[in-house]
Chain A
């Protein structure tokens, strides 16, 4: 067992873990934050996407031990003070989520795109979404919500 210290949504967690424990499982079962979802465990569906040290990553493709000393933001950490972020509000208003399984990963990935690209075009948004599977919405409302916040 290996000790790890990870900050999740601003709160520090100290745990002893097996090296093979995936970061996705660490977040869900050790930290107790189940907003991060597990859909495939091979990096394709994107439901597990979290922010690690400022960058969107697949938590199913990281080991918890790799996150020792790092700062993680999950979907639960996006909004502050009880108010939804503009992106979350746009999702709600536009019905960009139905079952919600893909939503946390998409929110993190979309925020990552909006942080690194000034005003992403619709094409850039659609390209980013190629890494996130959704089975309910057909993607259009999601694209529209992100484009609304991007101002494009």
Chain B
């Protein structure tokens, strides 16, 4: 089937230029932004960390498909929460992987994840005709940082490292 009408156009983002004299480039025409707030509670007796509230706001420019955008935020949050609270590679002194099955490498399941409150700010980028900035794994990056900061605030110390499993938080509580 031949189309009755066809148009071809070209667009070059004004800020995607060849490398400059120092071999630097802008690798992206635009950048999205994420801002998160995590509220955590640590049980003093068991050292278990609960996420009481979680808010994440994205600015991905113009959202072209809100349903897919929401799916990305929630999926990214699952990965971010996994890194913050559950997943860890553990090797013994001889280099054997101790977490080689899903029994020990803990991928979060539905009951394990906080329910986020999600917001969007749409500030269309001036550099691209659609105004879209992109949204992918923002929460993968932001959730571990937000949770780590909340845990640090709860414990009153900065030298904390995810995942914040009960066993690891217990050791922090003893020090």
Given the interface pairs A44-B102, A138-B75, the reply to whether A95 lies near B109 with Cβ below 8 Å is: no
A139 touches B110 (CB 8 A): yes
B74 touches A137 (CB 8 A): yes
Q: Which residues of A contact B67 (CB under 8 A)?
A: 94-95
A130 touches B111 (CB 8 A): yes
Is A131 part of the binding interface, using a Cβ–Cβ cutoff of 8 Å?
A: yes
Q: A42 contacts which of B75, B78, B103, B107 (Cβ < 8 Å)? A: B103
How far apart are the CA atoms of A131 and B74 in the complex, in Å?
19
Contact mask for chain A residues 28-48; partner B; CB cutoff 8 A; 1 contact, 0 none: 000000000000101011000
Q: B109 contacts which of A132, A136, A137, A141 (Cβ < 8 Å)? A: A132
Q: Which residues of B contact A126 (CB under 8 A)?
A: 110-111
Main DSSP-derived SS at the A contact region: loop
Is A143 part of the binding interface, using a Cβ–Cβ cutoff of 8 Å?
A: yes
Count A interface residues, CB 8 Å.
Answer: 24
How far apart are the CA atoms of A45 and B109 in the complex, in Å?
10
B71 touches A133 (CB 8 A): no
Q: Which of B87-116 contact A (CB under 8 A)?
A: 101-103, 107, 109-113, 115
Q: Which residues of A contact B103 (CB under 8 A)?
A: 42, 44
Q: Which of A2-39 contact B (CB under 8 A)?
A: none
Cross-chain pair count, CB within 8 angstroms:
63
Given the interface pairs A137-B71, A140-B115, the reply to whether A129 lies near B77 with Cβ below 8 Å is: no
Is A98 part of the binding interface, using a Cβ–Cβ cutoff of 8 Å?
A: yes
Is B70 part of the binding interface, using a Cβ–Cβ cutoff of 8 Å?
A: yes
Given the interface pairs A44-B103, A129-B109, the reply to whether A95 lies near B75 with Cβ below 8 Å is: no
Q: Which residues of A contact B73 (CB under 8 A)?
A: 138
Q: Which residues of B contact A130 (CB under 8 A)?
A: 109-112
Q: Which residues of B contact A131 (CB under 8 A)?
A: 109
Given the interface pairs A44-B101, A95-B68, the reply to whether A135 lies near B110 with Cβ below 8 Å is: no
Q: A138 contacts which of B68, B107, B111, B113 (Cβ < 8 Å)? A: B113
How far apart are the CA atoms of A134 and B76 in the complex, in Å?
12
A136 touches B111 (CB 8 A): no
B102 touches A136 (CB 8 A): no
B79 touches A127 (CB 8 A): no
Q: Which residues of B contact A98 (CB under 8 A)?
A: 71, 75
Shortest distance between the CB of A92 and any CB in chain B (Å): 11
Shortest distance between the CB of A27 and any CB in chain B (Å): 21
Q: Which residues of A contact B112 (CB under 8 A)?
A: 130
How far apart are the CA atoms of A67 and B51 in the complex, in Å?
44
Q: A133 contacts which of B68, B76, B107, B115 (Cβ < 8 Å)? A: B107
B102 touches A137 (CB 8 A): no
B107 touches A139 (CB 8 A): no
B110 touches A141 (CB 8 A): no
Q: Which of A77-123 contact B (CB under 8 A)?
A: 94-95, 98
B71 touches A141 (CB 8 A): yes
Q: Which residues of B contact A44 (CB under 8 A)?
A: 101-103
How far apart are the CA atoms of A127 and B107 in the complex, in Å?
15
